[in-house]
Amino acid sequence: MVKAAMDHRGIEKLLSEMTLKEKVGQLTMLSGELVQTGPASAPVTSDAIKNGEVGSLLNLVGSERVRDAQRHAVEGSRLGIPLFFSLDVLYGLRTMFPIPLGESSAFDPALWEATARVAAEECAVEGIDLTFAPMIDIARDPRWGRTLEGPGEDALVGQRVARAKVRGYQTDDLAAPTAIAATAKHFAGYGAVLAGREYASVDMSERLLHEVYLPPFRAAVEAGVACLMPAFIDLNGTPMSIHVPLLRKLVRERWGFDGVIVSDWSSIAELLLHGVAARPEAAALALNAGVDIDMMGKGAYVDGLPEALDRGLVTMARIDEAVRRVLMLKLKLGLFDDPYRRCGSPEAIAASAAQPARRALAREAARKSIVLLTNTGATLPLKGSLKSIAIVGPFGEIAGGNSEPPPAERVAALVDQVKAAFPEAAVSVAAGSHVEQPREGGLAEALRNAEQSDVILLCLGERVDMAGEASSRAYPGLPQPQQDLARALLETGKPVVVLLFSGRPLIVPDWLAAFAKAILAVWHPGSEGEGAIADVLSGAYNPSGRLSMSWPADVGQIPIFFAERPTGRPRLENEHFSSKYLDIPNDPRFRFGHGLSYTSFLLSNPRATRWTIAAGETTEILVDVKNTGAMAGEHTVFLFIRDVASSITRPALELEDFTKVMVAPGEMKTVRFALSSDQLRFLGADLEPVLEPGAFEIFVGPSANPAQLQMLELQVRQVEARQAQPSPKSM
Ligand code: BGC
């Protein structure tokens, strides 16, 4: 039995007492099998725990269950080493928040942290020590279903999400009563799978990897993330689970990450299918690359490591290093002090669940995530005097996703919330169609209700399982039956307000964008989504969400994102030899940063406190934001840069900062951004950061739409010592 007062020395002593089998056990994570998040597998047995064959479990939730399994480890195994328990907590455990892509649209790091905090508090009374979140894979291809789980297309947003989430889950002490360990995943480049097809390989330049896909992970490591998960993918010819240059050299040696690296579900065993190695070589390659834990390994580590050791493919020192990191994580989590510390009593769980503040936060998160995409003729907010509202669309099927209440209750909740917001209106409901199939008699019923209503709230989109893992879609749009329903309703001539539920940017057909009176992206908004939707429809909340990912106008544009590098032949409508499609629109339907409000804002007088800076210096960029409308509103202001001439080409726009400001009608506020010379650096030819002198264009505005940006120019003085080559700016 392990003594209560464990410390670093105790860990070394424990390590010295462990058999090889027990060591490999610590490096083995098995499923509790209550939740299925990967291909079927044999569940863990109490004997395996007692024999020290497993060091951690995933997908076992609930205080009593966890306590039970832990008892086998602590009381039944030779050394009594506690297990840790882990789970994917993508958007909450009991209180459900909007999906991460939706939440990223809030552009609100304090909110991102607060929702992670609540998720951690709920986990910490139900036996969970570690979550496999945040997912910080940048994604520029909406065909890929896991856009749902991530921060969207931009690296800066990804970095801010990473920091906020790590702080929210972990606080600054993993042993604090409500802290749990976070996992930065999936390292790295997963969002760029070939043609958006799940689990496919990734081929990308080192530059793109370092400029866009790695920075969120670095931010997570700098924020002290406890754990990191390599992606399933093959990156440029090497599966990530054995990627020595990235895992060992970059993450461990250069970034100094000393936390645990856990494989993704059986990804070490899958090396065989990548055509790289079978056991025991696969085990040796992964361990030597720095992967400590084999999740659901089908024996990859359990059988592979002892054989690899015999054959000299791994050393005992390497095995010890990995075991030490796992034991250290358990120490930091406080599990040696009290292995049951996160197994709350029924009273603690009930008290935790009953907190109204959590529901209020879920409602706030949902409100802030909703993006008003179009609003013709100020249709929204809807007038309080409406006499009849028809809710139409397969909302019940869509809403069954990330929520505890069953679909029927969600439909009832939507009706209740709409009724509460519009007390004078009669509210009818008709599904109209299924999500992917027509519904017998559905259209007729929907049309009957529509005819008798002042306005139609048309709920369209994807079920939650149409995005997420293993849910790539070649046509990320609205399934045909929903399009048919929408057309029929538009033809009635009644005003149609579309609520789009999705886990990704959806391709909105031209006719829908043109003829719907208003379109709202509501994502999958979580436990309090219906209330948040009603708040936005009625104007009780003035929408402030902005897209963190461009919405394509056509599938042929994918991948489409704002930070593209310039071409020597930019698009000119009247020039044949210019960069454009001839057969589809060339702009995205909705750009990064797009999101309307019920009020209007005017940005003016962009200025800098210093117009010239040198290395190590900072300037401030200021811009005045005036609310020129009639309703208070929150405005998001983005700051982009463009390096006018540089030794390596730079994207036409690079996001450097964003901030939100609440402005009353008629009021003007000044927004300030600190801009340091470090933010003007880029990765030079050797992929090391460099600052080159010369002009930089600074843009401020409400989105990445060039037409909405205001520009000022800044000069960088002084060449850095390491830069021997003449810069193009001096040419
Ligand atoms: C997913 C991971 C997840 C793991 C455990 C895998 O299939 O790729 O994101 O954390 O399962 O559920």
Are the beta carbons of 433 and 439 closer than 8 angstroms?
A: yes
How does pLDDT run across 205-246, given as a tens digit for each residue?
999 999 999 999 999 999 999 999 999 999 999 999 999 999
Q: What is the mean pLDDT of residues 484-502?
A: 98
Model pLDDT, residue 1: 45
Residue whose CA is closest, atom 10 of ligand 1?
Answer: 132
Does ligand 1 lie within 6 Å of residue 656's CB atom? no
**Token match 């539920």: residue?**
501
Taking Cα atoms as reference points, which of 406, 508, 428 lies closest to residue 462? 508
The pLDDT, as a whole number, for residue 402 is 57
pLDDT of residue 351: 84
Local structure of 447: helix, strand or coil: helix
Residue 515 phi, psi (nearest 5): -105, -15
With 60 as the cut, is the pLDDT of residue 3 above it? Answer: no
Residue nearest ligand 1's atom 12 by CA: 37
Q: In percent, how much of the chain has pLDDT > 90?
A: 91
- Centroid of ligand 1 to alpha carbon of 91 (angstroms): 14
Range list of H helices, 440-501 = 442-451, 480-491
Q: Is 187 in the pocket of ligand 1 (CB under 6 A)?
A: no
Whole-number pLDDT of residue 655: 98
pLDDT attached to residue 406: 81
Confidence check: pLDDT of 721 > 60:
no
| Furthest C-alpha separation in the chain | 79
At 139, the amino acid letter reads A
Q: Using alpha carbons, list the distances in angstroms from residue 347 to 125, 351, 358.
A: 10, 6, 17
- Does any ligand 1 atom lie closer than 6 A to the CB of residue 199? no
- Indicate which atom in ligand 1 lies nearest the CA of residue 37: 12
| Global confidence as pTM | 0.96
| HSE-CB of 648 using CA atoms within 13 angstroms | 16
Answer yes or no: is pLDDT of 390 > 70.
Answer: yes
Binding site membership of 601 for ligand 1 (Cβ less than 6 Å): no
Atom of ligand 1 nearest to the CA of 135: 9
What sections of 589-701 are H helices per DSSP?
none
CA of 90 to the centre of ligand 1 (A): 11
228 close to ligand 1 (CB < 6 Angstrom): no
What is the Å distance from ligand 1's center to 460 Cα? 28
The dihedrals phi and psi of 675, each to the nearest 5 degrees, come to: -125, 115
Q: Of the residues 29, 91, 132, which should be mutated to test ligand 1's pocket, given the most ligand atoms within 8 Å of the CB?
A: 132
Q: What is the pLDDT of residue 2?
A: 47
Residue that the structure tokens 């990734």 belong to:
202
The pLDDT value given to residue 353: 76
Q: Crossing angle of helices 155-170/109-123, nearest 10°?
A: 40
User: So what's the pLDDT on residue 42?
Assistant: 67
What pLDDT was estimated at residue 407?
A: 86
pLDDT at 31 over 80: yes
Neighbour-count burial of 346, counting CB atoms closer than 10 A to its CB (0-12 exposed, 13-18 middle, 19+ buried): exposed
pLDDT at 45: 86
* Overall average pLDDT of the 380-409 stretch: 88
Residue 183 Cα: closest atom of ligand 1? 10
Residue 88 CA to ligand 1 center (angstroms) comes to 7
Cα 308 to Cα 291: distance, rounded to the nearest angstrom: 15
Return the ligand 1 atom nearest residue 59 CA. 12
Q: DSSP secondary-structure letter at 244?
A: I
Q: For residue 509, how far is its CA from the centre of ligand 1 (angstroms)?
A: 33
Residue 41 banded pLDDT, cuts 50, 70, 90: low
Q: What is the pLDDT of residues 184-208, one digit of tens each?
A: 999 999 999 999 999 999 999 999 9
Distance 185 CA to ligand 1 centre (A): 9
In this structure, the residue with its CA closest to atom 6 of ligand 1 is: 265
What digits encode the pLDDT tens for the residues 137-169? 999 999 999 999 999 999 999 999 999 999 999
The answer, yes or no, to whether any atom of ligand 1 lies below 6 A from the CB of 198, is no
Mean pLDDT is lowest, of 1-5, 375-379, 576-580, for 1-5
Query: Does the pLDDT of residue 11 top 50, yes or no?
Result: yes
CA distance 327 to 47: 21
> Is the minimum distance from the CB of 132 to ligand 1 under 6 angstroms?
yes
Does 146 contact ligand 1 (Cβ within 6 A)? no
State pLDDT tens for residues 348-362. 888 887 789 999 999
Picking from 588, 593, 592, 59, the residue whose alpha carbon sits closest to that of residue 295 is 59
Which SS3 state, helix, strand or coil, does residue 227 take? strand
User: Please, what is the end-to-end C-alpha distance for the chain in angstroms?
Assistant: 72
Q: What is the pLDDT of residues 287-344, one digit of tens each?
A: 999 999 999 999 999 999 999 999 999 999 999 999 999 999 999 999 999 999 999 9
Could you give the domains of the chain?
362-557 (3.40.50.1700), 601-730 (2.60.40.10)
* Helix ranges, 32-154 (H): 46-50, 63-76, 100-104, 109-123
Which positions are annotated as active-site residues? 264
